[in-house]
C-alpha cells in the first residue's frame, strides 16, 4: 500500500523511519491527548524515540507485511493506524490507532482501519481482526461498532496507566463477517 485516499478525505501512507522528524513533531501535538489510550513505548518525546518506534514497525512490516501507516490531512500528519499484532500462523491480527484532537470527527480512523481490514482479510487471507481499547474510551468503542465488530468481552484491570489499572475491551471481526459486510 503506497498511498490511499480515504473516504474521509485524508491520505493513508506508510510511516517509515526516514519520517522520524515529522512523526516526532506530530507526537508533540498529540502526546497528551493520546497518552492515556496508547502504550507508553509509542508516545516518544524526541526524534530518536520517534525513529526507534518507526524502525520497530518497519522491521515487523518487512517480516510480515504489516506495519504502521500515517494519516495526512493535506500536508499535515494528524494520526495513524497500525497492525499491533499480525500472526499469519493463527490468522489473527490486532489493529490500533491514534489521532490528534483537532483531526477528530472527520472519519479518518474508521476509513483508515477499513483499509487495513481490507488488506489483511482480502489480500493476506487473515481470519480474525481484534480491536482493544480501554472501557472508558468511548470514541474507540464507537469505531469498533461502526466497523461491525462484536464485543467479545472485558479484560479486567489489563491496561496500566501509571499506577492505575483500567479495564480493556476486546472487539473482533471474523473474515466471514467482513465478507458479508463487503457484499452488502
- Sign for the CA dihedral angle at 16, 20, 26, 32 comes to positive
What's the average model confidence in pLDDT over 29-57? Answer: 84
Q: State the chain's mean pLDDT as an integer.
A: 92
Tell me how far apart the alpha carbons of residues 116 and 121 are, in angstroms, rounded to a whole number. 8
User: What does the pLDDT read at residue 34?
Assistant: 82
State yes or no: pLDDT of 107 exceeds 60.
yes
pLDDT of 58-100, one tens digit each?
999 999 888 999 999 999 999 999 999 999 999 999 999 999 9
To the question of pTM greater than 0.85 for the whole model, the response is yes
pLDDT of 111-157, one tens digit each?
999 999 999 999 999 999 999 999 999 999 999 999 999 999 999 99
Q: Which three cell numbers stand for residue 1?
A: 500500500
Q: Which domains does the chain have, with CATH numbers?
A: 4-183 (3.40.630.30)
Amino acid at each position: 500500500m503506497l498511498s490511499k485516499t480515504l473516504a474521509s478525505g485524508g491520505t493513508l501512507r506508510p510511516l517509515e523511519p526516514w519520517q522520524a522528524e515529522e512523526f516526532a513533531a506530530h507526537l508533540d501535538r498529540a502526546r497528551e491527548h493520546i497518552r492515556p489510550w496508547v502504550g507508553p513505548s509509542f508516545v516518544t518525546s524526541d526524534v530518536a524515540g520517534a525513529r526507534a518506534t518507526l524502525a520497530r514497525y518497519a522491521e515487523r512490516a518487512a517480516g510480515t507485511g504489516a506495519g504502521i501507516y500515517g494519516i495526512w490531512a493535506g500536508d499535515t500528519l494528524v494520526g495513524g493506524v497500525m497492525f499491533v499484532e499480525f500472526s499469519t500462523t493463527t490468522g489473527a491480527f490486532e489493529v490500533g490507532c491514534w489521532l490528534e484532537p483537532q483531526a477528530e470527527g472527520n472519519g479518518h480512523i474508521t476509513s483508515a482501519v477499513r483499509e487495513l481490514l481490507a488488506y489483511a482479510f482480502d489480500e493476506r487471507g487473515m481470519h480474525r481482526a481484534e480491536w482493544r481499547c480501554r472501557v472508558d474510551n468511548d470514541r474507540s468503542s464507537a469505531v469498533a461498532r461502526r466497523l461491525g465488530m462484536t464485543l467479545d468481552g472485558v479484560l479486567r484491570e489489563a491496561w496500566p496507566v501509571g499506577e492505575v489499572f483500567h479495564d480493556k475491551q476486546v472487539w473482533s471481526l471474523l473474515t466471514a463477517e467482513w465478507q458479508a459486510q463487503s457484499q452488502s
